Amino acid sequence: MRKKIVAANWKMNKIAAEARSYIESLLVELGEATDVEVVLIPPFTLLPLCSQMLGESPSVRLGAQNMHPAKSGAFTGEISASMLRDLYARYVVVGHSERRQLFGESDGFVGEKVRAAHDASLRPILCVGETLGERTAGHVEQVIDRQLGAGLHGVDAKEMGETVIAYEPIWAIGTGHNATPEQAQAVHAHIREVIASLYAAPVAERVRIQYGGSVKPDNAAELLRQPDIDGALVGGASLDPRSFAAIVHAAREAKG
């Protein structure tokens, strides 16, 4: 049984005072239950504050939005996996479509980050997903296969079990048009098949695959009930603690 994982990607939003009141509300809304893994992914600047506020909270983990694959060096403006570990991040988002599209990150570079994250005992959340043009042209599986092949290059079976995949169709991100549960389920099932063929069926059964793209409290339950949808990566709707908590509650109800 895979534990559902619901993550809040704040992107480039919030300053300290906003993060403080958000976390106070979120902890109240979530209560003590630990049946769903919740990951808060603030901007780098807020990682220390968030980790201090979350303390030993059993239900919420911290993640980062990006990292550089090098261990250290002359990479002005970048941050390494060990720096993120030092700030108590457990997860790191890798290959988000905004990084791929706005910052020109290639499949190969994304793969280097996945490798470097594992080397530092950070769990990567590897994002994959097609554009609307690629979907219309019938190339969804081809795009996913290419991104998975490069993104998982050099990852062994044990590390694969600790990697989270996020299927994020680009046409659904921030648009208000989520993939239907059937569309998402079909791609998630395909992703699991690809992992089974690259590793083995028991490894694929362990891997959690999140859906991301306009997840909201009113569409989360139906998406999260699909057999291969093991959680959500949430952008816009995660900025409000009540709406994010409602998505976590939907995951709780959908589990099993």
96, 118, 188, 249: which one is catalytic? 96
CB 75 within 8 A of CB 109: no
Nearer to ligand PEP, 63 or 213 (CB): 213
Does the protein bind ligand PEP through residue 174 (CB under 6 A)? yes
Nearer to ligand PEP, 148 or 233 (CB): 233
Minimum CB separation from ligand PEP for residue 11, in Å?
7
For residue 73, count CB atoms less than 10 angstroms from its CB and return exposed for 0-12, middle for 13-18, buried for 19 or more: exposed
- Find the binding residues for ligand PEP in span 232-251 (CB under 6 A): 233-237
φ/ψ of residue 127, rounded to 5? -90, 135
Minimum CB separation from ligand PEP for residue 202, in Å?
29
d(CA 125, CA 117): 10
Within the chain, strands assigned E span: 5-9, 37-41, 60-64, 91-94, 123-128, 164-167, 208-212, 231-234
Nearer to ligand PEP, 7 or 79 (CB): 7
37, 98, 112, 168: which one is catalytic? 168
For residue 91, count CB atoms less than 10 angstroms from its CB and return exposed for 0-12, middle for 13-18, buried for 19 or more: buried
Minimum CB separation from ligand PEP for residue 217, in Å?
12
Q: Pick the stretch among 143-151, 168-176, 191-199, 218-226 that binds ligand PEP (CB under 6 A).
A: 168-176
- Residue 96 annotated to the active site: yes
Does the protein bind ligand PEP through residue 215 (CB under 6 A)? yes
Q: How many residues does the chain have?
A: 256
Helix and strand numbers (H, E) in the chain are 12, 8
Nearer to ligand PEP, 69 or 217 (CB): 217
φ/ψ of residue 245, rounded to 5? -65, -35
d(CA 48, CA 244): 21
Q: Pick the stretch among 31-39, 131-139, 200-208, 228-236 that binds ligand PEP (CB under 6 A).
A: 228-236
φ/ψ of residue 214, rounded to 5? 60, 40
Q: Which residue is nearest to ligand PEP (CB)?
A: 235
Does the protein bind ligand PEP through residue 66 (CB under 6 A)? no
d(CA 23, CA 28): 9
Tokens linked to 27: 């902890």
Nearer to ligand PEP, 237 or 248 (CB): 237
Does the protein bind ligand PEP through residue 130 (CB under 6 A)? no
Does the protein bind ligand PEP through residue 213 (CB under 6 A)? yes
Judged by CB under 6 A, how many residues of this single chain contact ligand PEP?
13
Residues with catalytic annotation?
96, 168
Site residues for ligand PEP per CB under 6 A: 9, 168, 173-174, 212-215, 233-237
